[in-house]
Homo-oligomer: A and B are copies of this chain.
Amino acid sequence: MPYFDAASAAPPHPVARQALLAALDEGWADPARLHREGRRARLLLDAARETAAEAVGCRPDELSFTPSGTRALHDGIAGALGGRRRTGRHLVVSSVEHSAVLHAADALEADGGSVTRVGVDRTGLVDPAEYAAALRPDTALAALQSANHETGTEQPLAEVAAVCRAAGVPLLVDAAQSLGWGPVPEGWSLLTASAHKWGGPAGVGLLAVRKGTRFSPRGPVDEREGGRAPGFPDLPAIVAAAASLRAVRAEAGAEAARLRALVDRVRARVPALVPDVEVVGHPARRLPHIVTFSCLYVDGEALLHALDREGFSVSSGSSCTSSTLEPSHVLRAMGVLSEGNVRVSLPRGALATDVERFLEVLPGVVDGVRRHLGAPPVAPAPAAGEAEVVVDALGKRCPIPVIELAKVFDRVPVGGLVTVLSDDEAARLDVPAWCDMRGQEYVGERVVEGGVGYTVRRVS
């Protein structure tokens, strides 16, 4: 059963399993205690720290083990902000960071600080010049992911690190998606990662803080992990995390090339096999194992369930799968189609035959969902002559507003207008995206009773 959701959680690497089993027997005691069981645990912890530090590219005493990547981000951001409080309370982030970063930014704003969210282009890249312009005299911290978790797009880290260094602002790099594939370029002040993303166990994050970086932990004092990660350490998981990081790194070169070829095939074939599809993310600057695409007139959750029935486990960043019913903030920031979004993230060892079978079943699955939702035919019929049509999709969730738009579009002549009324936030993204894909003109939006009217002009 092919599992294509490694970017959520990778199946444990065999080395992680073996190391965890061994450390369960040897590493259950408190490494802070002086008796033999404690000393044995301390040796395991020290060795794991050295191994992980080598992979990160830092000194062991710069590295703390946290209970998760999210905690590493929360505590790393809070500690870095606390350490630079005299400088100011301004934080710079990209608009496509992991939600743990964006929620930390929201918390800072709620507490009286300020945040600049640097946008990205349609491929998901930040512009280093725009990032530089966001840095201020009162900027305490800047954060940028090494690569995006939904699109795989790799950020221009070295360039952004240079502008941060020039401004004297520490840069926190969220390396959760990339650390298993190779070291992060020099220039970061803080680095975070998450073991279950590289095939390590759950329960382990990394927080590296370069010597000389001001850091003042939030919350109650605790002596563990250099004062940066309170609580009894999960030593078996830490040992497994370090061992598996070393193992996946050793295999990374060959496996990245293999997976990149599979992803290239998906990127090339999906638009050829499925009509009205947009492959999103940077075409070249990207992680080897992630590809995401969006299908017009499709509900992401329905597509995900249909693929699940065919035996494929994928993820979706589209609005309908989120508990908040909001479109993915990443796709929104990129200004690309969010409806019918599918993320394929291949685990290590993913089989080419499974990828081929995915490509075989995908067209039928998308077609089935579209039929079920009553999606319009691919090309509109000749114009019927109405100068303007208003279609009411209030109360209907994505992708229905775009389907309704497309269904009536053939009723207006070239030059005519169609306005779709919707109260689904995703329509703000998906109506312009539909226009881009169809070569039609997006006129704009206006508030109407109960929602928003999105107007499109037919130009062909």
Residues of chain A touching chain B, judged by Cβ–Cβ distance below 8 Å, are 1, 3, 5, 8-9, 11-12, 17, 20-21, 24, 28-30, 33-38, 67-71, 74, 78, 100, 103-104, 106-107, 194, 196, 201-203, 205, 218-223, 230-237, 301, 304-305, 308, 313-315, 321, 323
Chain B residues, CB < 8 A from A223: 323
Asked if A5 meets B35 with Cβ closer than 8 Å, knowing A67-B67, A70-B230, A70-B231, the reply is yes
Contact of A234 among B12, B33, B234, B314 (CB under 8 A): B234
Which residue on chain B has the smallest CB distance to residue A20?
A: B24
Some 7 contacts from A to B, beta carbons below 8 A apart, are A1-B36, A68-B234, A70-B231, A100-B222, A201-B236, A223-B323, A234-B234
CB distance from A371 to the nearest CB of B (A): 21
Asked if A315 meets B33 with Cβ closer than 8 Å, knowing A100-B220, A106-B220, the reply is yes
**Complex alpha-carbon distance, A450 and B106, angstroms:** 50
Number of copies: 2
Which residue on chain B has the smallest CB distance to residue A78?
A: B219
CB distance from A285 to the nearest CB of B (A): 26
> When the two chains form their complex, are residues A34 and B220 in contact, meaning their CB atoms are under 8 A apart?
no
> When the two chains form their complex, are residues B220 and A107 in contact, meaning their CB atoms are under 8 A apart?
yes
> When the two chains form their complex, are residues B11 and A30 in contact, meaning their CB atoms are under 8 A apart?
no
> When the two chains form their complex, are residues A230 and B71 in contact, meaning their CB atoms are under 8 A apart?
yes
> When the two chains form their complex, are residues A232 and B194 in contact, meaning their CB atoms are under 8 A apart?
yes
> When the two chains form their complex, are residues A232 and B3 in contact, meaning their CB atoms are under 8 A apart?
no
> When the two chains form their complex, are residues B100 and A230 in contact, meaning their CB atoms are under 8 A apart?
yes
Contact of A35 among B11, B235, B304 (CB under 8 A): B304
Chain B residues, CB < 8 A from A231: 67-71, 100, 205
Which residue on chain B has the smallest CB distance to residue A196?
A: B232
CB distance from A290 to the nearest CB of B (A): 15
> When the two chains form their complex, are residues B70 and A68 in contact, meaning their CB atoms are under 8 A apart?
no
Asked if A196 meets B67 with Cβ closer than 8 Å, knowing A74-B219, A221-B107, the reply is no
Chain B residues, CB < 8 A from A233: 202
Chain B residues, CB < 8 A from A301: 34
Asked if A70 meets B232 with Cβ closer than 8 Å, knowing A28-B202, A37-B313, A221-B103, the reply is yes
> When the two chains form their complex, are residues B68 and A313 in contact, meaning their CB atoms are under 8 A apart?
no
> When the two chains form their complex, are residues B203 and A234 in contact, meaning their CB atoms are under 8 A apart?
yes
CB distance from A209 to the nearest CB of B (A): 18
Task: Indicate the member of A71, A235, A305 with the most B CB atoms within 10 Å.
Answer: A71
Chain B residues, CB < 8 A from A219: 74, 78, 104, 107, 218
> When the two chains form their complex, are residues A11 and B24 in contact, meaning their CB atoms are under 8 A apart?
no
Chain B residues, CB < 8 A from A232: 9, 68-70, 194, 196, 202
Which residue on chain B has the smallest CB distance to residue A41?
A: B9
Asked if A12 meets B35 with Cβ closer than 8 Å, knowing A74-B220, A235-B202, the reply is no
Which residue on chain B has the smallest CB distance to residue A234?
A: B203
CB distance from A286 to the nearest CB of B (A): 22
> When the two chains form their complex, are residues A67 and B234 in contact, meaning their CB atoms are under 8 A apart?
yes
Chain B residues, CB < 8 A from A315: 33, 35
**Complex alpha-carbon distance, A232 and B241, angstroms:** 15
